[in-house]
Structure 1
Amino acid sequence: MATVGAHTGKRVLLIGPGFIGWNVLELLVKDQYNVTAFTRSKEHGAKLTATGAKNVVLGDLDDKKLISDEVTKHDIVLHIASADHAASAEAVLDGVQRRADKGQSTIYIHTSGTSVIGDAEARGKKSSKVYHDSKAEEINSLPDNAPHRQIDLGILGVQKKLGAKAKIAIVMPPLIYGYNDKHGRLSIQIPTLTRFALKHGFAGYVGEGDSVWSQIHVKDLARGYRMILHQLESTPADSPELLENPYYFCECTGEYEVSWKEIAALIGRTLHEQGKISDPAPRQIDPKLYGDIFGPDFTEAVMGLNSRSRAERLRGLGWKPVEKSWQHSFVQDELPEILKEDISKFAGYGAAVAS
């Protein structure tokens, strides 16, 4: 595996240096990459510069020309902004193609998510179906209309066309939790459920609450991105390992996935101990209240399905999770931050959920 210092001067374009990407940026700076951060906010750009980004480009994900032009200037591109933004993914692929036309190879790591393997047949109950990233055929058999899948298929099409002219990987994170106190940013799912509990006075789950998801701490996930990048750099572009399987899961739980009912139970118990709700017992959420979670169209997809993944490829490279469990992270790190918020204006989470 490549060592720190071996990457000095390599140009990286990091699209989406937010909750996940900011942690990735810290690791790339430590490895001495020359990182350009693509972000919307001048204020956030200043923080990224302080973290060590050599350049900051201010732009929107819909600005396809700007993104494509920036890609042509960089050897490596990591897209961690969204799993469902087609225009930006297309812009990256256009830039990768432009580089290939000039004889320049590119490493492109795209972020998808394990909603793509969501098992609807066992809605509300634990499913026996588990997906392994060492078995590309399992993922390739997914329906074209699965979440994130249309964008992933577009990337796969370009990968097939370019072959050894580019090294392309698709990272599929599961339920992400965790907190970096230097950034002050929270994840999505568990904090949203906590805010719902504070607003409505009870911790809830969807359906029977027994569906399960694999999980990962955001810092362990960032280390996964770094290891995947190092692997792509050290593997020949014509290797079947790259050309035949672009998929990487990244989970910390193995067979011990958490159910949404277990998550609700911990939220209820800790909020009750804090004197924030009167009853610690979790209970089923009335669909009429889905607007205060992930909306009527997406709440069941986020909380009602199973998503069981195994990061066999990363573990085979020597990666292993080292951060806190989701329980300790929630109680010690995330809940204290949530309790500082003004919940009176909370009305659910309206943006796309990456996983």
Structure 2
Amino acid sequence: MPPKIFITGATGYIAGDATHLLYTTHPDWSYTALVRTEEKASLLQKAFPTIRTVLGTLEDSDLLKSEAANADIVLHAADASDHEGAARAIASGLIAGHSEASPGYWLHTGGTGILTYADEKAGKLGEWEAQEWNDWSGVAELTSLPDEAFHRNVDRVVLATGTEFAGRVKTAVVCPPTIYGKGRGPVGTRSRQAYELARLILEAEFIPIVGEGKARWDHVHVFDLSRVYLLLAEAAAAAVGGKKEGMGDATGEEEREMWGERGYYFVPGGRHVWGEVAEAMGRQAEVMGLVGDKKLEKAGLSREKAMEQAGFQAVSWGLNSQGRGERAAKVLGWRPEGPGLYEEIPRILSEEAERMGRKTA
């Protein structure tokens, strides 16, 4: 029997791309997706003809419980890091629908915004910070971050499920940093952080610098991120009886490192300084003629103005989030292969210019 996969966020950016990769790699698997409207369900089914869709939202707890209980693998990406109610419903469904003889697998989408809590607590913006978190040697620190940390309330739900019910529910928390690259899903193809930065540069025609502009953040191409979900899903499918060429069931030690209290994954493809990315975007916009013949000046961007621009996504241009990701490489054999963030800047600018109705060369 092919594994049954339940996906939230398949019409969004992260899960849209992941669904594309899963479906094209394993078209024989059984897929179900939560969607809000008939229109989006139609678009999803046009792209993935055999996918089953269920209409609902993250507020429909009974529906989430039912689908999670019936699925072998849940890939949760729709507002996954911040909607505690949905996480609790998925946890309840997985616990109720599975046993130690037939466990369920939960691929949960977190985010490295959780690492910004120290800057936020200290009121720091744009300052260089040396601390780097490690998902292998320092995983215990990550799974016990302070309750006030961003995303922590949902992290706790997932981690508690994967430890208290470790026999019947296997959890993996995937924490992407800044994501870039055009998604391959049928609806949502745009990320936020770097794209909102590009949009502001094109609209306001200045280079925004938050604080000293020295804050650093990791980044990953969306194609590379999707491969992490694919590898985790394949490992789960192998364990529940699905086929994966060249790979058998994980050993006990591999299981301990892959799921549950240690199953916490950073997936960086590289690292950038926000002030440097902003300047690189500004200079590239000049080269591409997207700001006329102007020479863009740097200008400070306050927290308040950043919030007006794009909420936390813009405030994050002044915060540090640095994670050394070793777990995906060690237990899944994952390596980032996509183009780097700086390489992608011309495409990001072109896409944002087109969204604004501007002609590009």
TM-score grouping bracket, smaller chain normalisation: 0.7 to 0.9
- Label 1:208 to 1:100 Cα distance change in 2 as closer, same or farther (>3 A): same
State whether structure 2 residue 158 is matched by structure 1 residue 155. yes
More moved, 333-342 vs 178-187: 178-187
**Contact 1:178/1:329 (CA < 8 Å) preserved in 2?**
yes
- Aligned residue among 28, 38, 42 for 2:38: 42
Within a 5 Å distance, the mapping from 1:1-355 to structure 2 comes to 9-17=2-10, 18-29=12-23, 30-31=25-26, 32-52=28-48, 53-82=50-79, 83-100=81-98, 104-118=102-116, 119-120=118-119, 123-134=125-136, 135-180=138-183, 183=186, 185-232=189-236, 233=239, 234-235=249-250, 239-241=255-257, 242-253=259-270, 257-277=271-291, 278-295=294-311, 298=312, 301-316=315-330, 317-331=332-346, 333-342=347-356
Conservation of the 8 A alpha-carbon contact between 2:225 and 2:267: yes
Distance in 1 (CA, whole Å) between partners of 2:125 and 2:97 is: 44
SS at match of 1:147: coil
Deviations 1:36-73 (A, max 9, x none): 11121322322322332521112111111111111122
| Partner Cα distance (2:252, 2:6) in 1 | 20
Write the letter of the residue equivalent to 2:306.
Answer: Y
Partners of 1:230 and 1:181 lie apart in 2 by 20
What is the distance in 1 between the residues matched to 2:280 and 2:33?
37
Q: Contact between 2:16 and 2:183, CA under 8 Å: does it hold in 1?
A: no
From the superposition, tell whether residues 273 and 41 of structure 1 become closer, same or farther in structure 2 (CA, over 3 Å).
Answer: farther
Q: Which amino acid aligns with 1:195?
A: R
Is the partner of 1:143 in helix, strand or coil?
coil
Q: CA deviation at 1:288?
A: 4.8
Change (3 A) 1:140 1:54: closer
How far has the Cα of 1:110 moved from its partner?
A: 0.8
Q: Give 1:292 deviation, angstroms.
A: 3.5
CA positional deviation for 1:101: 6.3
TM-score (norm 1): 0.86
Count of residue pairs the alignment pairs up? 331
Structure 2 distance, partners of 1:152, 1:244, is: 11
Distance 1:189 1:284, change over 3 A: same
4+ runs of 1 displaced by more than 6 Å?
Answer: none
Mean Cα deviation higher: 94-103 or 189-198: 94-103
Q: Distance in 1 between matches of 2:315 and 2:252?
A: 37
Q: Within 2, Cα distance between the matches of 1:312 and 1:216?
A: 14
Question: What TM-score do the two structures reach when normalised by structure 2?
Answer: 0.85
Alignment deviations for residues 271-318 of structure 1 (CA, whole Å, 9 cap, x no partner): 2223333233433214452243233xx367522211011220111232
Q: Which SS does the other structure have where 2:142 is aligned? A: helix
Letter in 1 for 2:150: P
Alpha-carbon deviation of 1:172?
0.6
How much identity, in percent, do the aligned residues show? 29
Q: Tell me what 1:349 maps to.
A: none
Matching residue's letter, 1:247: Y
Contact 2:216 2:322 in 1 (8 A): yes
1:152 CA displacement? 0.7
Q: What's the secondary structure of 1:248's corresponding residue?
A: strand
Tell me, which stretches of 5 or more residues in structure 1 are unaligned? 1-7, 345-355
**Matched residues in 1 for 2:140 and 2:109: separation?**
19
**Does the 8 A contact of 2:159 with 2:261 survive in 1?**
no
How far is the alpha carbon of 1:207 from its aligned partner? Answer: 0.7
- The secondary structure found in structure 1 opposite 2:160 is helix
Asked if 1 retains the 8 angstrom alpha-carbon contact of 2:100 and 2:168, the reply is no
Q: Is the 8 A contact 1:179 1:329 kept in 2?
A: no
| Change in 2 beyond 3 A, CA 1:164/1:235 | farther
Q: Does the 8 Å CA contact 2:125/2:210 hold for their aligned counterparts?
A: no
Change (3 A) 1:88 1:288: closer
CA contact (8 A) 1:165 1:237 kept: no
User: What SS does the corresponding residue of 1:340 show, helix, strand or coil?
Assistant: helix
Q: Which runs of 5+ in 2 are unaligned?
A: 240-248
Report how far residue 247 of structure 1 moved. 0.3
Would you say the 8 A contact 1:113–1:148 is kept in 2?
A: yes
Would the alpha carbon gap of residues 330 and 169 (structure 1) be closer, same or farther in structure 2, given more than 3 Å must change? same
Instruction: Give CA-to-partner distance per residue, 1:87-138, whole Å, 9 cap, x none.
Output: 1111101101111369642001111100111241564222111111113112
| Shift, 1:327, TM fit | 1.7
2:71 alignment partner, SS class: coil
Does the 8 Å CA contact 2:2/2:30 hold for their aligned counterparts?
A: yes
Amino acid paired to 1:88: A
Superposed CA RMSD in Å reads: 2.3
